[in-house]
Amino acid sequence: METLNETRSTTSFDEILADFALLDEWEDRYRYIIELGRRLEPLPEGDHSAANKVQGCVSQVWLTTKVDADGGAQRLTFLGDSDAHIVRGLIAILFSLYSGRAPEEILTIDAHETLGRLHLNEHLTPQRSNGLMAMVKRIRSDAEGALAKPTLH
C-alpha cells in the first residue's frame, strides 16, 4: 500500500480495491480514503465556483472536466475538491474509476456495481451515499456532453 510520502497522485481502482482488502477495520479504510483525498491534484481557486459545484451533496463539492481530443479520441480528465476530508477521498476513488477514459467507456461503467465492491454504501451515511451518486451523475452528464460535441480531426 502506498503512503503519503510517495509522489504518485493517482491510484487505480484495482489498487484501491486491493488495498481495501488488506485493511480489516473500517476505521483504517476511512483513514485510507482520507489519504487518497490528500493526494488529489489541487483544484485551482477560480474553479471553486457555482458552475462547478455538484448539486445534491451535503458537503461542498466542485468538479471540473477537461476533454482531451488527441488524435480525435476523446479522453475526460477530472479535477475536484471538497470541504470535507472523507468526501475528497471519495472524489479520488471516483477519479480512479473515471478519469482518463473515453466518454463512451465512462457511460458503460456501472457505478453501483463497481463501487459496491468497496462496500461503501454499508459504511457511509445515507447523505454521503447520495452525494457520491450525485458526483457520479455529474461525471456521466459531462461524458454525455462530451459525446454530443463533435471532435476536430
Domain that holds residue 137: 13-148
99-142 pLDDT tens trace: 999 999 999 999 999 999 999 988 999 999 999 999 999 999 99
Residue 151 phi/psi, 5-degree rounding, is -95, 150
Count of structural domains within the chain:
1
What SS3 class is residue 99?
coil
Which CATH number characterizes residue 87's domain?
Answer: 3.90.1010.10
Query: What are the beta bridge partners of residue 62?
Result: 53, 81
57 is catalytic: yes
Question: Does residue 70 sit within a domain?
Answer: yes
Question: Does residue 6 sit within a domain?
Answer: no
Contact 137, 125 (CB under 8 A): no
Set 40, 57, 93, 115: catalytic member: 57
30-79 pLDDT tens trace: 999 999 999 999 999 999 999 999 998 889 999 999 999 877 789 999 99
Question: Does residue 133 sit within a domain?
Answer: yes
Spatial CB neighbours of 22, under 8 Å, sequence gap ≥ 6: 1
